[in-house]
A and B are shown apart, each in its own frame.
Chain A
Amino acid sequence: MRAFAQSGSYGRGAGDEDLDAGRIVFRTREKLSRLLGFSHPERVCFASGATQALNTAIMGMPRRYGRAIATDWDHNSTLRPLARLADEQGVRVEYVPADSDGALDYGALSALLDEPCDFVTCTHASNVTGMVCDAGRVVAMAHAHGVPVILDAAQTAGSLPLSMEELGTDVLCITGHKALMGPTGTGAILVAPGLELAPLVEGGSGMASAERRQPAAWPEHLEAGTLNIQGIAGLEAAVDWLAEQGIESIAAHEEALVGRFRAGIEGVSGLKAYGRFDLPHSGIVSVNLRDVDSAVLADELAERFGIATRAGLHCAPRMHAALGTLEQGCVRFSFGWFTSENDIDAAVAALAEIAGGL
């Protein structure tokens, strides 16, 4: 609340309110760095969310070959800027396929890497199936060809133990409003030393004001304009809470809930869960009930049982194409720290009741 009442703007004036804003931003960078296993907080650049972070990464990557590799798991935050690069700059984009169970084909990635490309971009956990990719393997494969990797951790930051430096990814994009439990309108792009990205946005930086272009110094290089101080203050509080709680505890809790939910819905006739559960998984399970429109099922859950889900294509059309659900969509359940076993049981009972009534 203090941030709302008193904070000024980051990196601008030297009055108490502006310096307070600077301290909030500084502390939050440091804490996010620690939480995400990255020892260069000055290269943690705040964004409005993973969408802005991914656009910054994709549009700003150095390009020599005019070719990029993405995956069927990717969200429109990745797919659409890539489509723009293809349409406007002739960049050739190729995709690592997922099979009908949602599993990524790492052999196909290996083959795609035989031809020079500028970067690989990869979603850490599918926002449709909840499956977690082997990001360390993707990075190792790409780096063996000298190709940098952008990792979209929108679904995993705060939900699974995650170290940017252990994975070796060159860019990590996160959002504050999902498992990091911060406010909407917050996120960040973390850029490994040695990689220079062209800024997506240029403008006020509070420094080097006489220069024609955005300063090269980090983090201002990717932070043109006024930062969302109040949002970042909320994110700091959330990161403090997560660090106290321990990401491992949260991951274990979500894993147990996914197991309980899966066991519960096995007995529900006509219900299908998507993805493979013998592979690493985050706290998401998506289902369909026979051929029922996913929007209808989600509405029944909300209207009759007060259960919030998300229906449709989840901004991930290639993933749905792989799963065969482009027409029907599917209903996504998302479990977090504040989801209880009782919530899971209630969701299973609701699905059983709906299924029995159809």
Chain B
Amino acid sequence: MTAQTRTSLVVTFASTHDAMRAEAVLVERNVPGRLIPTPTVVTAECGLAWKSPLSARDALVAALEALAHEEILELEV
């Protein structure tokens, strides 16, 4: 099976709590995206990551300023 992938923004976290807090804030701010299993190519502590389309970069970066997170990556996922 070949998975359908596209270049997306992937935000990684240090803990599940940080991921859940990010989801709560990002959903409230209508930043498009969702939590996904952290891609195995990423070296991240937490098994959950946030995935957004590239078009949401500005809104995502702005919202993440006040949120604990590790990295914002561009990945084929």
Binding site for B on A (CB under 8 A): 10-14, 19, 22-23, 25-26, 29, 41-42, 206-209, 215, 217-220
Contacts and interface: CB of A to CB of B under 8 A. Distances in A.
A22 B21 CA distance: 10
A41 B20 CA distance: 12
Interface of B: 14-21, 23-24, 35-37, 45-48
Contact of B37 (A13, A218, A219): A13
5 contacts: A11-B48, A13-B37, A22-B16, A206-B47, A209-B47
A26 B17 contact: yes
B71 to A, nearest CB: 15
B16 A23 contact: no
A206 B16 contact: yes
B8 to A, nearest CB: 14
A9 B23 CA distance: 17
A207 B20 contact: no
Nearest to B43: A210
A207 B47 contact: yes
A207 B46 contact: yes
Give the most central of A14, A23, A209: most B CB within 10 Å.
Answer: A14
A11 B35 CA distance: 11
Given A207-B46, A207-B47, A215-B45, 20 more contacts: A11-B46, A12-B47, A13-B37, A14-B47, A19-B23, A22-B16, A23-B20, A23-B23, A26-B20, A29-B17, A41-B17, A42-B17, A206-B47, A207-B16, A208-B45, A208-B46, A209-B47, A217-B46, A218-B17, A220-B17
